Structure 1
Amino acid sequence: MIRPGFLSPAERRELVSCVRSQREDHGIARRANAILLLDDGKSCHAIAEFLYLDDDTIRGWYKTYREAGWDALSFDGWKGGQSRMTADQEAALCDWLKDRFCRSTVEIMAHISEKFGLRCSHSGCIKLLARLGFEYRKPKALPRVASTEKQASFITMYQSLLAELGADEAVYFADAVHPEYQTKPAYGWVKTGSHPAVTTTAGRGRVNIHGAVNLETFDAPFVEPTTVDGVSATQLLAKIEERNPDKRLIHVIWDNAAYHKGPDVREFLARPECRIHLIQLRPYCPHLNPIERLWAVMHQHVTHNRHYPNQKQFANAILKFFRKTIPNEWKSFRDQVSDNFRVIN
């Protein structure tokens, strides 16, 4: 029988520190825990049952501790297996892996077998890759953007346009958006331990909006076409003209979509009384169109964490945002929809 209280205060503090340390190896901390429990008066049988071990293991740990101290008991002695691959083979494997993206260890194990005549298990291959500095993860998706020079040239052009803008001129940013009739869960602050949920929708319909925004007045004309095309583009341009009867020239900045420069738009621009001056955004530069930020605000107000029983109610909520929310509340989100442009590498 092992008598309790065999540890000195200093020895006990050392073992308690080991148990509580998050950096300590789990197996070593478990040995310290067993010695502390023995010192508390627990039996070898009770400790072994609690730690899912056998009595002899606990007694062996106690004997080692009493005879050689904590340093001997905490020494693991396991150094891992010796790799069967030479340093040159490992270097060759690293070079081979750097030139490709292997989805599975099966491909890597097959290469090792074919190239070096060695066989390794799935777990052995994973350990080898970890030791060589590889990890399993997916690549980061990078948005396709225009060159930094093209982005910078647009920003310079836009700043010059604003600097020279006359009192009888206006600038609008325009684009199309297609909010879908689908529940969009979004992050938010909730009580710890709670599990908030939002009902999903079964439909796949969407609302088409072809809209524009003037960052100075926050005028946001839009049309709701069945299909976004050249006709809806000219309808939007006509509405912009209609809402600016006092402007001699209206600059409209939008992307290079085919319907933004097709025959319908060219015919509209060819009118003698046309007051629209189109400016095409650089390709792959949605971050240089502030209306994209307005679409984000729309989703925050209408779609995020909201459920609509049917598509009609969803469409009405979208239209309400453009007809009422923007005219009445635009000052509350004006800072979110700005022309604070920056170049993305």
Structure 2
Amino acid sequence: MIRPNFLTTADRLELLSCVKRQREDYGVARRANALSLLNDGMSCAQIAKVLFLDDDTVRSWHKQYLAEDWEAVAYDGWKGGQSRMTIAHEADLSEWLEERFCRSTAQIRAYMGAKFNIHYSHSGCIKLLARLGFEYRKPKALPRVADVEKQAAFIAFHTNLLNNLPADEAVDFSDAVHPEYQSKPSHGWARKGSNPAIQTTSGRVNIHGALNLETFDAPFVEPTTVDGVSSVQLLAKIEARNPDKRIIHVIWDNAPYHKGPNVRAFLSRKNCRIHLIQLPPYCPHLNPIERLWAVMHSHVTHNRHYPTQKHFANPILNFMREVVPKKWRNFRDQVTDNFRIISHRNVRVVLYGPVTV
């Protein structure tokens, strides 16, 4: 029979600390737990039953502690066995995995069984994959973007345009936004366990707007539908807001209504001062007004609930009419033309489909 209270005060505190540390190695924590319970008076058989061990294992740990010390008991010299996969097998498996995206170890184990006649358990396969440098992760969504060359060409064009812009010309970026009358949950600090929630609604507001980064003038219209008519209304408002400009360069995307008959008729007018510039396809990141829309959402829609659509629309319109003209310096650093090129070159694009062995 093993007598209790055999641990020194220092070792007892160290063992209790090992048991409570969440990041402690599982094997070390089990040994610390067993010795602590043994020190408190439980028998080897009782501890073995509680911890699902053999009672001789508990006795061996106690014997080792008395003969050496806790450090000796805590040391795990086990290094694992020889892998059943040869180096050639592992290289083959790695190459096979690089060419596809397996969502389950079942697919991988089936391949190893068919190709190498080697069969792994689920947990064994996970350990093998970790050793080979693979991890279980979710691919991130990649938006469609224009060619890198087209993005670079536009950025160079825009830089040259601004650097050589005469005093009687201006540059406006334009786009439409459709804030939904629906509360947008967003991250924030809350007391743990408080389960914060906001009510949801439905509906939306349409805004067709423009932005001059030099003056932060932001003309906009509130159409029922964003189309060629609203595009012309916006262009007319941009002209009216710039009476001293000979040419106003308006940069916007390739939406069909931006190139439709209404817009073409407006541009064909005598003395029309609007010069349209199309963004490269799939490049909203090259339009600074998108950043203004993000600021608007953070001010108006994130984590806010409005009882009616009118209550929802008024703060949005107030943001455009009052906040932008008067307080634009507060978020000037967030709405810039500090463009960057988005490329898929540094990612592995996953092509989903049946995984063949």
TM-score, normalisation: structure 2 = 0.82
**Matching of residues 262-273 of structure 1 within 5 Å:** 262-273=260-271
Aligned equivalent of 2:325: 327
Report the CA distance between 1:138 and its aligned residue: 1.8
**How far apart are the structure 2 equivalents of 1:47 and 1:295?**
65
Q: Determine if the alignment matches structure 1 residue 92 to structure 2 residue 87.
A: no
Which amino acid in structure 1 is aligned with residue 318 of structure 2? Answer: K
Match of 1:231?
229
| Secondary structure of 2:174 counterpart | strand
Q: C-alpha displacement at 1:237, in angstroms?
A: 0.4
Match of 2:177 in 1: 177
- Give how far 1:221 is off: 1.2
DSSP-derived class of the 1:170 partner: strand
Aligned residue in 2 for 1:306: 304
Please state whether the residue corresponding to 1:333 is helix, strand or coil: helix
Tell me whether 53-62 or 167-176 shows the greater mean CA deviation.
Answer: 53-62
Tell me by how many angstroms 1:69 deviates.
4.8
Secondary structure, counterpart of 1:176 in structure 2:
strand
Aligned partners of 2:37 and 2:47 also within 8 Å? no
Check whether the contact 2:173–2:250 (CA below 8 A) recurs between aligned residues: yes
Distance 1:123 1:16 in 2: 30
Measured after TM superposition, the shift of residue 317 of structure 1 is 2.8
Indicate if the aligned counterparts of 1:185 and 1:198 stay in contact, CA closer than 8 A: yes
User: Which residue identity does 1:48 align to in structure 2?
Assistant: I
Residue 277 of structure 2 aligns to a residue in which SS? strand
Out of 312, 315, 321, the position equivalent to 2:313 is 315
Matching of residues 9-158 of structure 1 within 5 Å: 24-36=24-36, 38-39=38-39, 41-44=40-43, 48=47, 52=51, 56=55, 58-67=58-67, 69-70=69-70, 73-74=73-74, 76=76, 78-80=78-80, 82-158=82-158
**Bigger shift: residues 98-107 or 66-75:** 66-75
RMSD over aligned CA atoms reads 3.2
> What CA distance in whole angstroms lies between the structure 2 residues aligned with 1:80 and 1:279?
65
- Provide the secondary structure at the position in 1 that maps to 2:321: helix
Could you tell me which residue of structure 2 aligns to residue 297 of structure 1?
A: 295
1:134 deviation in Å? 1.7
Letter in 1 for 2:248: I
- In 2, the alpha carbon distance for the partners of 1:112 and 1:2 equals 49
**Corresponding letter in the other structure for 2:163:** A
Q: For 1:171, what is the secondary structure of its paired residue?
A: strand
Letter in 1 for 2:168: D
- Opposite residue 118 of structure 2, the aligned amino acid is L
Cα shift at 1:47: 7.8
Moved more, 23-32 or 132-141: 23-32
Larger mean CA deviation between 335-344 and 48-57 belongs to 48-57
Which whole-Å CA distance do the structure 2 matches of 1:327 and 1:75 have between them?
68
Corresponding residue for 1:254?
252
Asked whether the 8 Å contact 1:210–1:225 carries over to 2, the reply is yes
**Contact 1:172-1:253 within 8 A present in 2 as well:** yes
Q: Which residue of 1 aligns with 2:338?
A: 340
Amino acid paired to 2:196: P
Amino acid at match of 2:184: K
TM-score, normalised by the number of residues in structure 1: 0.84
Shift of 1:193: 5.5
| Separation of aligned partners in 1, 2:90 and 2:53 | 41
Distance (whole Å) between structure 1 residues aligned to residue 286 and residue 74 of structure 2: 61
Asked if 1 retains the 8 angstrom alpha-carbon contact of 2:183 and 2:302, the reply is yes
Contact 1:44 1:59 in 2 (8 A): no
Q: 1:251 to 1:117 in 2, by over 3 A?
A: same
TM superposition shift of 1:290: 1.1
- Tell me the distance in 1 between the aligned counterparts of 2:322 and 2:72: 76
Partner of 2:348 in structure 1? none
**C-alpha distance after superposition, 1:161-191 (max 9, x if no partner):** 2333333322211011111222211123444
Greater displacement, 28-37 / 53-62? 53-62
Which structure 2 residues correspond to residues 196-215 of structure 1 after superposition, within 5 A?
A: 196-201=196-201, 203=202, 205-215=203-213
Secondary structure at the counterpart of residue 249 of structure 2: strand
Q: 1 CA distance for matches of 2:49 and 2:113?
A: 44
Structure 2 unaligned segments of length 5 or more: list them. 344-357
1:44·1:55 contact (CA, 8 Å) conserved in 2? no
**1:38 to partner: Cα distance:** 4.5
Name which of structure 1's ranges 319-328 and 71-80 shifts more when overlaid on structure 2: 71-80
Name the CA distance, whole Å, in 2 between partners of 1:153 and 1:226.
35
Identity of aligned residues (%): 68
